[in-house]
Structure 1
Amino acid sequence: MIVRILGEGQYDVPDSALDQLNALDAAVEAAVEAADQQAFEAALPALLDGVRAIGVEHALDALDESDLILPPADATIDEVRTMLTDEGLIPG
């Protein structure tokens, strides 16, 4: 699966990592729903760091469509709120 972090690039992430990323995503979703800025400021970087750690940078010259799009590291809680679906940022 190809995951794009807005403003940064794409990462190839194995499907087997979805459970791990969903746990990090759940923390982001909970922080946004609770409007807990402090928890959000910890949860979003943890999710993005998880993608960077698990994934491999996708070739810059490849024109492949992203399967998932995540907010940039400097996104606000309100910006992330608009990106959330019923399943958070990462479905599954």
Structure 2
Amino acid sequence: MIVRIMGEGQVRLADSHFPELNKLDDELLAEVETGDLEGFRRTLGALLAAVRKLGTPLPDDALEPSELILPAPDATIDEVRAMLTEDGLIPD
């Protein structure tokens, strides 16, 4: 799956990594719902770090359709709230 981190670029992620990422996504969803700003910052950072670590970056000149778009690291809780679905940022 091709994943875009807004403001950074795209990475290719194997489907086998999504159970791990979904745990962080569930945590992030709960923190957004409760307004836990400190937890939100920590978990968003951990989620994006995991995507960077587990994914293979695509070249800067590659322009493939992104199947999933994640917020920028400095996104606000309101910006992320607007991106959420009932499954969070990452569909189950």
Range into which the TM-score falls when normalised by the shorter chain? over 0.9
Deviation per CA, 1:39-58: give whole Å up to 9, x if none. Answer: 10101000000100100101
- Partner in structure 2 of residue 5 of structure 1: 5
The alignment partner of 1:65 has SS state of coil
Structure 2 residue 19 is the aligned partner of structure 1 residue 14: no
The Cα RMSD (Å) is 0.6
Tell me what 1:44 maps to: 44
2:36 aligned partner, one-letter code: D
Q: How does 1:26-37 map to 2 (within 5 A)?
A: 26-37=26-37
Deviations 1:53-88, CA, capped at 9 Å, x for gaps = 100101222221001000000000000000000110
Superposed structure 1 runs of 4+ greater than 6 Å apart: none
Secondary structure of residue in 2 paired with 1:22: helix
Specify the code of the residue in structure 1 equivalent to 2:57. Answer: E
Residue identity matched to 2:40: F
Give 1:82's aligned residue.
82
- 3-state DSSP of counterpart to 1:10: strand
Structure 1 letter corresponding to 2:79:
E
Give TM-score, length-normalised by structure 2: 0.97
- Unaligned 5+ runs, structure 1: none
Please give the alpha-carbon distance, in whole angstroms, between the structure 2 residues aligned to 1:71 and 1:2: 14
| Shift of residue 27, structure 1, vs aligned partner | 1.1
The CA distance in 1 between the partners of 2:83 and 2:19, in whole Å, is 20
Partner SS state of residue 3, structure 1:
strand
1:10-36 CA-partner distances (Å, limit 9, x unpaired): 010001101011011111111100111
